[in-house]
A and B are shown apart, each in its own frame.
Chain A
Amino acid sequence: MKPKLWLVVLVMCMWTPLNAKTLEEWAKTFEPSALSYEERVKELQWFKDVSKTLSKKLDGKTIRSAAEHIKTHFYERDVLSEAFFDITGIRVKHNIIGEGPVVKEIMTQLRTGRVIEHIYVNDADLIGTHLRYQGVVNLSEYMKGEGKKYTNPYLDLDDWLNLEFGQDYSGNQLQLPDQQFSNLYWFRYDWFTDPKNKKDFKDRYGYELGVPINWAAYEDIAEFFTGRKQTNPDGSIVTAYGHLDYLKPSPSLGWRFTDAWLSIAGVGDKGLPNGIPVDEWGIRIENKVPVGSMVERGGAMNSPAAVYALSKFMEWLKFAPPEAKDLEWHTAGPRGAKGDVAQRIFQYITWLSTDAFHEAGSPVVGKDGFPVWRVAPTPHGRYWDEGMKVGYQDAGSWTIPKSVRDSYRAAAWLWAQFASSKTVSLKKFLVGGTPVRKSTINHPYIDKNIKKWAGLIEFYRSPAEKKWTDSGPNVPDYALSVTWVANLENALKEFHNGASIPELAQKTMDKMARDQDDMMATLKLKKFSPMLNPIKSKDYWLKQPGSPKPKRAPEKPETIAYDQLIKQWQ
């Protein structure tokens, strides 16, 4: 071999990372998949071909993306970004940061135009913000126009579970879901079906122990289990808690409420995915324009239903482990796996994929290797009526700010499509437990292993799933949530100092509603900007049909046997 040829070989060896895999090797890695090996190769080949000119133009520049710290996104960072680079030559730095910083970064970028990241996995809860700021790329238009060349022919948008979460009022896709997470009722199936527990419960409360349909039953069950000795499959005997929650001052304390807690209590109106004219955050909307949160403006944030929602949150803390005061959403998420909690009304499924809920020897895993816990529909509050949303679910969604243009926009869009492609989606779900495609949850592999997910797959396959929705388009600016955090922190301080709950809850919701309206009044948004209604008496609005609703008498507790419930889902 001539010396020059040696040099070429040497340079090529140095150029290729030692651990780089071929496209075919990556196609084999993504097994199981909704696609066959040949189909995967075809899809990956498309990514490779379309990126050739783009990666050359970008000349080694890195695409920056940001996402919150959950397993799904760690998998994207550690495996998928590597695969994407090997296949396309485009390097991605997938920054895993907290959800709070993700929201803060994207909002800064929208307000200043300064490019912090090229793409975000941003919760679709912000769809109301995005459609009003007009600061993110309209993906529907992009796919038809400038981005057509870079849109995966195998994308198959009909395969998405809840594409509508990322759409504006006209059905334009502003955000593409990447990982979906519902918030469900979680409970210890083994304890709930234990004959002694069943008998004792019926003797004490006069009805069957089962999955609570409403908050009255949830409260009875919480009281029943709190302080009761229970045995786990690993033989440990624990003093149980009937409830689990978190209240550490943090942005996640705000999400505990903004993630539909008021809707679950029944604060809003009928209508799916969100009630009209009143629903999320107690905001009334007229012709897509927010007109108020206070009852005095036709909103419901300080209505009897909202006061009830906050009161129950505080009342039930006596049934929760004492460390609840130090927990945030991500530390409370896996807490149930310790084996001393009987039920949880507000469990993000995101955390149910953690090893603690599945590994052999865990107090919540049976001798057969399967969970002894289950998930079921969220019980609803006293003010809930048929026809309203039942619970909360959202989708971390790919969102490209308009300040990201041309080659960077194309590369960011390719990365988003790759990370949610059919080739990789099933494998990603097995790691993170947050599905995004129908082909994932309906896959034969899932059928074979369905017991592992303890009711979650049945939920996603059921039409009922459509009743769990996100914050929707009516919240005009997600930044309004700060008023919640500040006021809830103060309320909890007073609560710990012994303040009387109903009065404290009314005072807090009154202030929160006023603060939220004050803040809405300052917003000047490009579309459907808030225009507040004039103040009228509370009485006037409470006498109108729908929300805000007048005070209701306590409801009768209701439960259903889990096995009967799961048949309804099937």
Chain B
Amino acid sequence: MKRCFFTVLICFLLSPITTWADSIVISVENREFYPFFFLEKKNAPRGILLDMVKDGLTPIGIEPKFKPLPLKRGLRMVERGSVDAIIAPRIKNENFLLPDDAFEKDVSMQRILQIDSVVVTYKSDYEFLGVLNTLPTPIRITLGDPIESLFKQQGLSIDDAASGSHNIKKLMRDKKGCVITTSLKAMTWLDDPKIKENIDVSTEPVVSRSYFLIFSKKSGLGQDKIKLVWDEIAKNRDDYIYPIKLFTAY
């Protein structure tokens, strides 16, 4: 009887039913990119992109484990297959799996979200209309933001800080230069009575990027399942109710 019980138990543990508890490791940048990703107390990663990825994986029975890392390191780990996936803008690499339209369109259908970075300046007549070398310097970005290379190419002076909050404080103190941040973060400053009267936010974004769940070709998750995940994320994103609940949480 005992032997029979153990046989059943072993069969159960080895059976496909355990797939409901499958988990994958996803790298996410360890910098502040509020509200899309950021670190809470004890370095716990949180954010809209993480919620959307989690909600895309749950119906397929996969649990994500997010690993906050600097972008470059995260990408290397995806390349090696040390993590299954990474949340990032499109990056060409033969070891990466991205949706088919990732390099064909500026706004991919299978993105997680499209995120704009805008220019926040101290109240003045200046208006950013798409010409980078007109940006007031120093250009304040959050530490580790890959957007840095865009300004470096133009030879513009950059100042980085741990968070957007540090940057806006500096802008308010120095009354010069600009802050590059997400349109959502800029909206929160425009709601802040201490800040809103003193800043301008550009209509024109500095960059607009599709963020993806990029998989490693070495991930154990099959291509069919990966496509299902991308489809599920896109379905949620284009839903009417889902975004309300999502954005209300931040």
A residues touching B (Cβ–Cβ < 8 Å)?
57-59, 61, 104, 107-108, 111-115, 118, 402-409, 477, 479, 482, 519, 522-524, 526
Contact = CB atoms under 8 A, between A and B. Distances in A.
Given A409-B203, A479-B240, A113 B186 contact: yes
Closest 3 CB pairs of A and B: A113-B183, A482-B240, A408-B203
Contacts, number: 71
Nearest to A61: B129
B231 to A, nearest CB: 18
A104 B208 CA distance: 19
Contacts of B240: 104, 479, 482
Main secondary structure of the interface of B (DSSP, over half): mixed
Nearest to A407: B127
Given A104-B238, A407-B129, A519-B241, 4 more contacts: A107-B243, A113-B183, A113-B184, A114-B116
Nearest to A409: B203
A108 B130 CA distance: 23
Interface size class of B (residues with CB under 8 A): 20 to 34
A112 B247 CA distance: 8
A57 B205 CA distance: 17
Contacts of B247: 111-112
Interface in B103-140: 113-116, 118, 127, 129-130
B203 A479 contact: no
Contacts of A107: 243
Contacts of A108: 243
A402 B114 CA distance: 19
Nearest to A134: B191
A524 B249 CA distance: 9
B241 A479 contact: yes
Nearest to B191: A526
B232 to A, nearest CB: 18
B244 interface: yes
A112 B203 contact: no
28 contacts: A57-B129, A59-B129, A104-B238, A104-B240, A108-B243, A113-B116, A113-B183, A113-B184, A113-B186, A114-B183, A114-B208, A115-B116, A115-B183, A115-B205, A118-B203, A403-B201, A405-B202, A406-B127, A406-B203, A407-B129, A407-B203, A408-B203, A482-B240, A482-B241, A519-B241, A519-B244, A522-B244, A522-B248
B92 interface: no
Interface hub of A406, A408, A519, A526 (most chain B Cβ within 10 A)? A406
Nearest to A519: B241
A74 to B, nearest CB: 25
A58 B245 contact: no
A339 B117 CA distance: 55
A407 B202 CA distance: 10
Interface in B206-222: 208
B187 interface: yes
